[in-house]
Amino acid sequence: MIFPSVPRRPGWSPSEVVTLTPDTPWPFPASGVEVAWSEPDADEFHQVFDEVATVLGSRQGALKMVPVLPQKGVVLTGEPTAFFGGLEQGRKGQWRYGFVDEGHGFCGVTPELFFKMSGRSLKTMAVAGTAVRGEEDRFEDDPKEIREHEMVVSFLEQALGVLGEVEREPRELIAVGGVTHFRSPIRVQLDQALEVDELIRLLHPTPAVGCLPRGDGLITSLAEMRRRVGCPASFGAPFGLIHEGAFHAVISIRGLFWEGDRIDLPAGCGLIAESRFERELAELALKRDAVRRIFGLAPRDDG
């Protein structure tokens, strides 16, 4: 499922936890992995784009949807688990994540913190709006990008406002690979302690990776669009852990997902009424390039 329901007690209890520090040798060796990529189907995405545009222009009240276009690949040499070697270098304002189990897995470097909760203190953020590095002057004043970002901020402020005092920090720019995003950090002092799964149900999926409003109809439509193009089920899902009394979760984007020797590199884009197809298609390519650079893969589509 693209937007999985949250079980009562999700996850596992590990038998061992190893904490890596900057002084800890990276335990995953970097070895070359060669991947043969297929060109993403622009026509297929154009069909999805037109469907979303129709929904956004209808009377359903839809304001934003985030479709996905994955790039498909096949491993020619090496093992997909070697991708973990590409996560050795830390990146400011980004978080590494990964999971492997019996021939399938995923890993990546995400710019989006889902939330971190320790006691009654909660931190989250809105990350939305994308531009090419070097175009920050235009980007900072772009009405479309600002509106897309503020939709996510408003959702978080409204959802969390019933739980405690919300403090939003000023909108800022962050550089992620070859792209730039808007980010607005948000802090909440909760009125009472909450269970992790309660907050996950409340916030996931945010409009940064899902849709606005979050009605069942829109979520179902978006999930169907993602299934149609072969989007991995784990893409955009929360990924986190409870450790030493704190819960830290990120959104699993900007990564690689594999099953056997089949690789998926998904990228999503937030569509609102002002979105234009060519611009969104170019944004997807930028995000794919950023991921491929992380893992030492070719910077452009191989065809």
Rounded Cα distance, 14 and 10, in Å:
13
Q: What is the mean pLDDT of residues 59-79?
A: 91
- CATH code where residue 82 lies: 3.60.120.10
Predicted confidence (pLDDT) per residue in 26-44, tens digit = 888 877 889 999 999 999 9
Q: Locate tokens 């026509």: which residue?
A: 43
What is the pLDDT of the chain when averaged over all its residues?
Answer: 89
Q: What's the average model confidence in pLDDT over 61-83?
A: 93
Does 5 map to a domain? no
Task: Give the per-residue pLDDT at 13.
Answer: 76
pLDDT score at 30:
76
- Give me the domain span that covers residue 187: 34-294
Domain presence at residue 143: yes
pLDDT, one tens digit per residue, over 247-275 is 999 999 999 999 999 999 999 999 999 99
Residue 39 within any structural domain of the chain: yes
pLDDT in the model for residue 2: 44
Whether 28 is covered by a domain: the verdict is no
Q: Provide the b/e sequence for 233-257 (b: ≥16 CB within 10 Å).
A: ebbbbbbbeeeeeebbbbbbbbbbb
Per-residue model confidence (pLDDT) at position 187: 98
Tell me: cis bond preceding 213? Omega within 30 of 0 counts.
yes
**pLDDT reported for residue 200:** 93
Tokens of 299: 């910077």
Alpha carbons 266 and 209: distance in angstroms, whole number: 12
Number of domains in the chain: 1
Instruction: Tell me how far apart the alpha carbons of residues 142 and 180 are, in angstroms, rounded to a whole number.
Output: 13
CA distance 204 to 255: 19
Evaluate whether residue 300 is within a structural domain.
Answer: no
Condensed to tens digits (0 to 9), the pLDDT of residues 184-214 reads 999 999 999 999 989 999 999 999 999 999 8
Q: What's the burial of 90, exposed, middle or buried (CB within 10 Å: 0-12/13-18/19+)? A: exposed
Q: How far apart are CA 285 and CA 301, in angstroms?
A: 9
pLDDT at 205 (0 to 100): 94
pLDDT at 4 over 60: no
Q: pLDDT, tens digit, for every residue of 119-176?
A: 999 999 999 998 888 788 889 999 999 999 999 999 999 999 999 999 999 999 998 8
Crossing angle of helices 196-203 and 143-161, in 10° steps, is: 140
Q: Are 122 and 115 in contact (CB under 8 A)?
A: yes
Instruction: Please tell me the predicted confidence (pLDDT) of residue 40.
Output: 93
Indicate yes or no: pTM above 0.85.
yes
Over residues 218-225, mean pLDDT: 93
Domain membership of residue 17 (yes or no) is no
pLDDT at 300: 44
Q: Is residue 23 part of a domain?
A: no
